[in-house]
Amino acid sequence: MIIPRAEHNISRKDITPTALKVLYRLQEAGFDAYLVGGGVRDLLLGLHPKDFDVATNAHPEQVRKIFSNSRLIGRRFRIVHVFFGRDIVEVTTFRKGLLDEEHADHQQSEHGVMLRDNVFGTIEEDAVRRDFTVNALYYNIADFSVVDFTNGMQDLKHRIVRLIGEPEVRFREDPVRMLRAVRFAAKLGFELDPAISQAIPKMHALLDHISKARLFDEWVKILMSCHACKAFELLLQHGLLEDLLPSIPKLWHHSANAEALAKAALENTDERLKTGKSINPAFMLAVLYWPIFLEYQKKFEQKGMHKSIAFEHAISEAIQTALKDMSIPRRFTTNMREIWGLQRRFNAHPNKRLLDIPLLPRFRAGYDFLLLRASLDPSLKPLAEWWTAFYEATPEMRHGLLKTKPKKT
């Protein structure tokens, strides 16, 4: 289906100048050039995407020759990144579908997970090999039409996340599509196609064969979606949270406080992102695994360990638990340690060493974590209020406030 300019709402003024520049230069060089994917989907929904991907019949080496400010990347399939200062426009060549078995360059693992996908194709073949219908819409710079090979426009209208092809086949090709389906449903406020909901219980175990590093990347995308709270609800509803973060659902089943703490943090994360503020994934990790840390701490103290030693041992054990769930980069586990460590320092006896705490690099994250805990635990409110006053006071006033610090809780 070709939807002419007069019948859709996409305007070039809503497309970044860098993406337009790439489209026009490819066209001027004699190639087809289309915007594709989430950028087209979001424009049609009246949203304002910041990133746009380009699809073309030009091969990567040909794109590279057109743009001196570009670089070839990727092993499985070569793509081109075109750089405009800090802005990057990703350019991909049309590919054949994943189920084209006649090509030697197409290989899968014994579990059906894609290993190589390096066969160029037509725009029709490129559309069919994409994951969801709403992500397979093409904006043609030649005539400003939208090209739809998979009834994606209908699914946008009816607000449905639908896979292209049979869900069981597509999930076997790439199990991460189950997580992506939930992320898009939460982000867009769409319903999952019943066929997806029915396939997930049969296929979710395939996520065990996905690298923990890739699972972490997908978790970060969920967290940064501005709709992480809804996404976590859907993950829990469809049994996917157990595959993404195995330790967390078990914890939530036994601790309502752990689930409430996580949901409060997720809501706060969504609000921060919607208002243009930044977040650090380490903060959410610290929230999710804090109850596990507390369990370890209690266990070590019951064994007769000194509180300070039990605290450090508990941190290490909780981080090891997190690392079994996902491959978390060290910079994030370091931040988790610092955020947790500050909770102990916030509770310390008043002395002059407290004056240095607001100067620590991770103070703000630790302080926000204390406020989050206090919002659910009334016994922590006096401590949180004191630290708020201490944080906002001038250096001179802080000396006097030391005498008013609440006793340990």
For the chain, the domains span 1-158, 165-244, 255-409
pLDDT digits (tens, 9 = 90+) for 297-348: 999 999 999 999 999 999 999 999 999 999 999 999 999 999 999 999 999 9
Q: What is the pTM of this model?
A: 0.88
Identify the pLDDT of residue 409: 60
Pairing of strands 191-192, 160-161: parallel
Residue 97 clears pLDDT 80, i.e. is over it: no
- Summarize pLDDT for 248-307 with one digit per residue, the tens: 988 887 787 999 999 999 999 999 999 999 999 999 999 999 999 999 999 999 999 999
3-state secondary structure of 235: helix
Angle between helices 307-325 and 330-346 (to 10 degrees): 150
**Contact between residue 235 and residue 241 where contact means Cβ atoms under 8 Å apart:** yes
Residue 11 has pLDDT above 60, yes or no: yes
Has residue 144 got a pLDDT over 60?
yes
Specify the CATH number for 1-158; select among 3.20.20.70, 3.20.20.140, 3.30.460.10, 3.10.129.10. 3.30.460.10
- Answer yes or no: are the C-beta atoms of 10 and 40 closer than 8 Å: yes
Residues 6+ apart with CB under 8 A from 372: 261, 264, 265, 268, 287
Residues recognised as catalytic: 51, 53, 131
pLDDT confidence of 408, banded at 50, 70, 90? Answer: low
Span 165-244: which CATH code? Answer: 1.10.110.30
How many whole angstroms separate alpha carbon 351 and alpha carbon 148?
67
Task: Please state which of the four CATH numbers 3.40.50.620, 1.10.1740.10, 1.10.3090.10, 3.30.720.120 is assigned to the domain occupying 255-409.
Answer: 1.10.3090.10
Calculate the alpha carbon distances from 111 to 80, 99, 175, 231 in Å.
Answer: 29, 14, 10, 26
Mean pLDDT in residue range 55-76: 92
Sole residue written with tokens 């977040």: 279
pLDDT confidence of residue 108: 52
